[in-house]
Amino acid sequence: MHTPSHITEKAVEVAKAQKADSVVSIGGGSTIGLGKAISIRTGLPHICIPTTYAGSEMTPILGETAEGRKTTRSDPNILPGTVIYDVDLTLTLPPAMSATSGVNAIAHAVEALYARNTNPVTCLLAQEGIRTLAIALPEIMEEPSAQPARSKALYGAWLCGTFLGNVGIALHHKLCHSLGGSFNLPHAETHTIVLPHALSYNAPKAVEPMMRLAEALSDSNGDAIRGLNLLLTRLKVKRGLKDFGMREEDIDKATEIAFSNPYWNPREIEKGPLRELIRRCWAGEEARADL
């Protein structure tokens, strides 16, 4: 869950009581999100020192949760003013968390490939970000203290994070926001589970973006969904939302929430296929292009 509003309110009170002159966020996406929430409410300058690969430090987007619903907003003033990357601070990040935060970043770049306002430069940079993380993350799983792999992952996260505020987002992010905010599911893990299934849904209407994605994923053999399934297998991540507390009876509620006020998407949102997509995410099935 990103930035619960009641936590933000308490943090703002502390900042004012201490007469703080700046906000420094050291940590992952949730920590940086809290820093953004404090900064936008107080006008304090925000300095980020990321220790994961989510890429939140490079986005002007803030996700906040209140009363079981997650909402997002974008504002240039939300973008942190200073970002410091120090690879040494990532060396002890557990491999499992490294994997899911990295896939979270990949998701930003994937949706940039088929965003309504994408462009050729964005697509080239998105491919580079995806390719870099797809190489670095398995290396980190093999050798967690490998500094070159960690450096590559930070570079990939930086690239992927830049897209989230510059192009639109679609079905994947809508699902993750709905599921995470409504069912208290962990952010990066939810992104990791949903991404291949959202891709399988959009594949028929995103042929060229899927080709670009396949080029960025080794061993894809021209099939982006296959390439992503293989990457997640190599990263040994959990594939089912049920592993994180979502119940089977929540599938219908999740479908209704995700179906309401949908984001723009390359394929029209249809309730039946959407429910099946969410069911597969809940069950932990591999993605397949038959939705």
Contact (Cβ atoms closer than 8 angstroms) between residue 99 and residue 236 = yes
- Which helix (H) or strand (E) segment holds residue 206: the answer is none
pLDDT tens-digit map of 38-87? 999 999 999 999 999 989 999 998 988 887 677 888 899 999 999 999 99
Q: Percent of the chain beyond pLDDT 90?
A: 84
Written as six digits, the tokens of 280 are 């597969």
What pLDDT, on the 0 to 100 scale, is given for residue 69?
Answer: 74
How far is residue 227's CA from residue 125's CA, in Å, rounded to a whole number? Answer: 19
Low-confidence ranges of the chain (pLDDT < 70): 1, 68
The DSSP code sequence of 211-222 is: HHHHHHSTT-TT
Task: Return all residues near 189 (Cβ < 8 A) that are at least 6 apart.
Answer: 100, 237, 238, 244
What pLDDT, on the 0 to 100 scale, is given for residue 278?
Answer: 97
How far does CA 52 lie from the centroid of its chain?
12
Closest to 205 measured CA to CA, from 163, 264, 120: 264
Contact (Cβ atoms closer than 8 angstroms) between residue 173 and residue 111 = yes
What pLDDT, on the 0 to 100 scale, is given for residue 287?
Answer: 96
Closest to 58 measured CA to CA, from 68, 50, 66: 50
Q: CB atoms < 10 A from the CB of 162, how many?
A: 20
Residues present in the chain in total:
291
What pLDDT, on the 0 to 100 scale, is given for residue 1?
Answer: 52
The DSSP code sequence of 95-152 is: HHHHHHHHHHHHHHHHHHHT-TT--HHHHHHHHHHHHHHHHHHHHHHH-TT-HHHHHH
What pLDDT, on the 0 to 100 scale, is given for residue 74?
Answer: 87
Task: Return all residues near 127 (Cβ < 8 A) that are at least 6 apart.
Answer: 109, 113, 212, 213, 215, 216
User: pTM score, two decimals?
Assistant: 0.92
Which residue type is seen at 220?
S
26 Rama sector, left if φ>0, alpha if ψ -120 to 50, beta otherwise: beta
